[in-house]
Amino acid sequence: MTQDELKQAVARAAIEYVPANEIIGVGTGSTANYFIDELGKIKDRIKGAVASSEATAARLRSHGIAVLDLNDVDFLPVYIDGADEITADGAMIKGGGAALTREKIVASVAGRFVCIADGSKLVTQLGAFPLPVEVIPMAQAAVARQLKALGGEPRLRMKDGQPLITDNGCMIIDLAGLHIADPRDLEARINNIVGVVTVGLFAQRGADVALLGTGDGVQKMSF
What residues make contact with ligand 5RP under the rule CB under 6 A?
Answer: 27-32, 81-84, 94-100, 103
Angle at 190 between CA 128 and CA 100, to 5 degrees: 65
Q: CA 56, 57, 63, 65 torsion: positive or negative?
A: positive
- 130: which DSSP letter? P
Q: Element (H or E) spanning 190, and its range?
A: helix 183-191
Q: Is 124 annotated as belonging to a binding site?
A: no
Output 96 or 130, the one with its CB closest to ligand 5RP: 96
- Amino acid type, 121: K
CA 129 – CA 94 distance, rounded (Å): 9
Output 35 or 186, the one with its CB closest to ligand 5RP: 35
Burial 112-128 (b: 16+ CB within 10 A, else e): bbbbbbbbebbbeebbe
CB of 7 to ligand 5RP, least distance (A): 6
Active-site annotation, residues = 103
CB of 212 to ligand 5RP, least distance (A): 12
Output 82 or 152, the one with its CB closest to ligand 5RP: 82
Q: Is 95 annotated as belonging to a binding site?
A: yes
Cβ atoms within 10 Å of 66's Cβ, excluding its own: 12
Q: Is 29 annotated as belonging to a binding site?
A: yes
Q: Is 151 annotated as belonging to a binding site?
A: no
CA 37 – CA 83 distance, rounded (Å): 18
CB of 29 to ligand 5RP, least distance (A): 3
CB of 21 to ligand 5RP, least distance (A): 26
Output 134 or 141, the one with its CB closest to ligand 5RP: 134
Residues annotated within a binding site for substrate: 28-31, 81-84, 94-97, 121
Residues annotated within a binding site: 28-31, 81-84, 94-97, 121
